[in-house]
Amino acid sequence: MAGNRKRSWKIYPAWGYEKEIEDLNQASEQGWQLVNGGCFHSSFVKNPNVRYRYQMDYGRIDDMDRYIETFREQGWEHVHSTYNKWHYFRKAYDPALPEEAYEIFTDRESLQEMNNRWARLALIIAVLLAGFAVYYGVRLIQTPQLPLLIHTLAFALESGLLVWGWTIMRSPDPNRSRRCGSAFLTAILAVIVLGAVAGMVLSSLRPHFKTGQGGGALDEPMVDSRWADFEVKYRDNYFLDLDFASDAPMTFSVLDEAGQTVYTQTGTSFREENIRLQLPAGHYCFSISCETGYRINCIIQ
């Protein structure tokens, strides 16, 4: 039974649906008939006794029964509809009929209206993704760090990909399917997915905690009192929010695992956000030297 079924994992962009139709027609000619279609994978059943020509439509359908019946009256069998509003139809192939008999849209205006329905949605999503790219880009300028760079590039690439598809769908041409290579699109999507995953993983690996302490009059001065150990998993810019005050000058430091100072600040009071620390991977801690009462709060991220 398994030999009578197969799956295809080809990726088709919405603006390359003609290429998907072409591949479905070729599969049918080879005896593989569509069961479920989709932009990422399709499933087929083996039946060499029939041959079909396939077509696709796009759009939100309020009355699905009436919609399917309308196509049935024109000789089209409804095969499958996807969650993202693509609808697959087929018609038994008769070599005696002209190619026009297998066109689901009888005029260019109807075809372009279908293209425009997807193009409008794509443009809305592209604008939203561009907004995310701008948001992360602004944050990247304010606090340069690797996860923000990856998120910015990923959203910009996604937006650019949809804008490219929008321009093609708005002005279709006979060579459109040749501009939508599955290998190229797969590579682009892989970059986007891997970038998004890498951004999330790198964000999760960053130290992010808030800590503080304080004390009244000290019995004896504190010298290099170490606390709040944290680990840096990869080299990048990290940002420190620091707020302290004391009755006499105190010294706050960030030390690496060898005890070397990577940042220090001395005074009776200090407050600043987003202090950039360029840190390689390793273990770090905070250190205080103080002679009198003090309070201190800091955030590292």
Which pLDDT score, from 0 to 100, does residue 77 have? Answer: 93
Final residue of a structural domain among 204, 223, 244: 204
Mean pLDDT for all residues in the chain: 87
Alpha-carbon separation of residue 69 from 64, 65, 87, 111, 250 (angstroms): 8, 6, 13, 20, 82
Q: What is the CATH number of the domain that holds 283?
A: 2.60.120.380
Instruction: List, for residues 187-225, the tens digit of each pLDDT value.
Output: 777 788 888 899 999 999 999 889 988 877 777 788 899
6/100 same-domain check:
yes
pLDDT digits (tens, 9 = 90+) for 113-130: 777 878 888 889 899 999
- Residue 49, phi then psi, degrees to nearest 5: -85, -10
What distance in Å separates the CA atoms of residue 149 and residue 11, rounded to the nearest whole number? 27
Helix 146-170 and helix 108-142: axis angle, to 10°? Answer: 160
Q: pTM of the entire structure?
A: 0.74
- Segments forming the whole domain that contains residue 233: 209-300
pLDDT class of 139 with cuts at 50, 70, 90:
very high
Judge if 185 and 96 occupy the same domain. Answer: no
Count the domains in the chain. 3
Within this chain, do residues 176 and 251 fall inside the same structural domain, yes or no? no
- Predicted confidence at residue 177, as pLDDT, reads 47
- Rounded Cα distance between 158 and 182, Å, is 16
